[in-house]
Amino acid sequence: MQKAIVPIISLFFTSIALTSLAEPIQVEVFYPEQEIHKLSLELSGTVVAKQDAQLAPLEAGLVKNILVEAGDKVSAGQALLSLDDTLAKLRLAQAEANQISAQVQQQEAKRQYDEVVSLAKSKLVADSLLAERKASLASANAALSNSHAQVALQKEIVKRHTVTAPFDGVIAQRNVDLGEWISQQNQIFQLVSDKSLRLIVDLPQEHLKAISTSSDLMVLIIPDATPDQQYRLPLTNIVTVSEPVSRTLQVRIDLPEISLPETNSSESDLSENALPKNEQPNNQVLIPGMSARARFDLSNKDDKLTWIPRSALKRHPDGGNSVFTVNTNKIKRHKISLIKSESDRIAVTGLPNEPAVVVSGTELLKDNQTVTPVTVTGFNNRGKR
C-alpha cells in the first residue's frame, strides 16, 4: 500500500511542475514616460566689487584738508585729501631758482665756447683753451639737466601731497582726521567700485565635475533683498583651488551694469533664454556686501528620470532597490537609484529607454523568468487607474 502511494505523490507534484512550466506567470506592467532629470543647485553668495582698495598716501605729512566723507561717490582722479605741502613748495621754489641759475650758466658757457671756436679757426688760441671751454659747456649742460630733474622731482612731491581716487567708486570708510600725522603705511580711505561687481559663491567640491563639464552654463541670480528681480548670467570662472577646511571652491559670476531681469522663474525656466531686455542696471539692485542666491542648472539630457508606481519597487535587505522590466516575455532586474518620491509613485534613474516595468508580484520574480505581461496605463495602489 505504501509503495503505491509514493508514485502517486511523485506524479502529482510532477504534474504541478509541468503545469507551472507550461503556464508563465501573468504580471501587470506599466510603460512609464522618461524625462530629462532636471537638477538644480542653489547656493548663497556675496556681492563684492572687482575693485576694492585701501588707499594710502604717497608721502608722509600732516593732514590739512579732508575733501570727502564715507558714502560719497567719487570719480577717478578726484582729490580726496591733502597734506600740508608748505615745505614741499619751498623746495620746489628753490629748485626752480637753481634751474634758472643753471640755465644762465649754460648760456654763458656756450657763448664762451662759441667764441673760442671762431678764434681757433684762425689759430689765434691754443687747443687746450678750446678743450677747456668745451668741458665747461658740457658741465653746464649737465647741471642744467640736473636742475630740470630736480624741478620735476619737487613738482611730483608737491603733487603727492594730495591723495586722489584711482577709480570711480564710493568711499566706504574714512580712517583719518584733520591734524593727524600719516605715513605711507596708513590706510586712510577704503574705496569700493560700485560699477564692476561680481557674485562670489562657495561651491562644494562634489559638484565641481557637474558644473565644469556643462558648456555655456547660465546661472540664475536671485537677490535676497529683491527676490522678484532676478538675473540669468553666464558663469565667469571657477577658481580651481579647494579651500582645505571647508572643501569648497570659489565660483565667480560677473554682474554687468546692464542685466537681463526676469520675474518668478522656476527651475524649469533655467534653460530658457527668452528674457526681457533693456532693463535697469544691476547696481540699482545689488551693491557690494549684499547677499544673493545663485541657482545652477545641472540637468543632463543623457540622464533620464523615470516615474514608476511604488508597487514596482523591490527592496533589498542591504538597503538597495531594484525594478523588474519585461522584454519579449523575459524578466530582467535593474538596480536603480531613488531620486524623488510622491504619494503613489517614485522617480528613479538606471532604467533603459521605454521599459515595460513590472508592477505586481515582484517578490516572486527572478532574472530571465518567462512571464505573460498585461499592460497597465496609470497609477493607483497597484499601478492601475
Nearest to 172 by CA among 45, 47, 49, 283: 49
Nearest to 282 by CA among 221, 357, 349: 221
CB 37 within 8 A of CB 339: yes
Candidates 2.40.30.160, 3.90.1150.10, 2.40.10.10, 2.40.50.100; CATH matching 55-82+165-192: 2.40.50.100
Mean pLDDT over the full length of the chain = 82
DSSP-based three-state secondary structure for 162:
strand
Q: How far apart are CA 304 and CA 337, in angstroms?
A: 12
Q: Is a pLDDT exceeding 50 seen at residue 384?
A: no
The arithmetic mean of pLDDT across residues 344-366, rounded, is 82
Nearest to 116 by CA among 128, 105, 130: 130
The three three-digit cell numbers of residue 276, written as one number: 526681457
Q: Which of 32-36, 145-149, 315-319, 335-339 has the lowest mean pLDDT?
A: 32-36
**Model confidence band, residue 138 (pLDDT cutoffs 50, 70, 90):** very high
Q: Is a pLDDT exceeding 80 seen at residue 355?
A: no
Nearest to 54 by CA among 197, 195, 199, 184: 184
The three three-digit cell numbers of residue 137, written as one number: 659747456
**Neighbouring C-beta atoms of residue 66, cutoff 10 Å:** 17
The three three-digit cell numbers of residue 38, written as one number: 532636471
Q: How far apart are CA 39 and CA 295, in angstroms?
A: 10
CATH architecture entry for 40-50+195-301: Beta Barrel (2.40)
Domain 86-159 in CATH 2.60.40? The answer is no
- The domain locations on the chain are 25-37+302-376, 40-50+195-301, 55-82+165-192, 86-159
CB 30 within 8 A of CB 313: no
CB 99 within 8 A of CB 145: no
Write the pLDDT tens digit of every residue in 33-62.
777 777 788 999 999 999 999 999 999 999
CATH code at 25-37+302-376: 2.40.420.20
Q: How far apart are CA 346 and CA 310, in angstroms?
A: 6
Q: How far apart are CA 299 and CA 296, in angstroms?
A: 9
Q: How far apart are CA 143 and CA 111, in angstroms?
A: 16
What is the pTM (predicted TM-score) of this model? 0.62
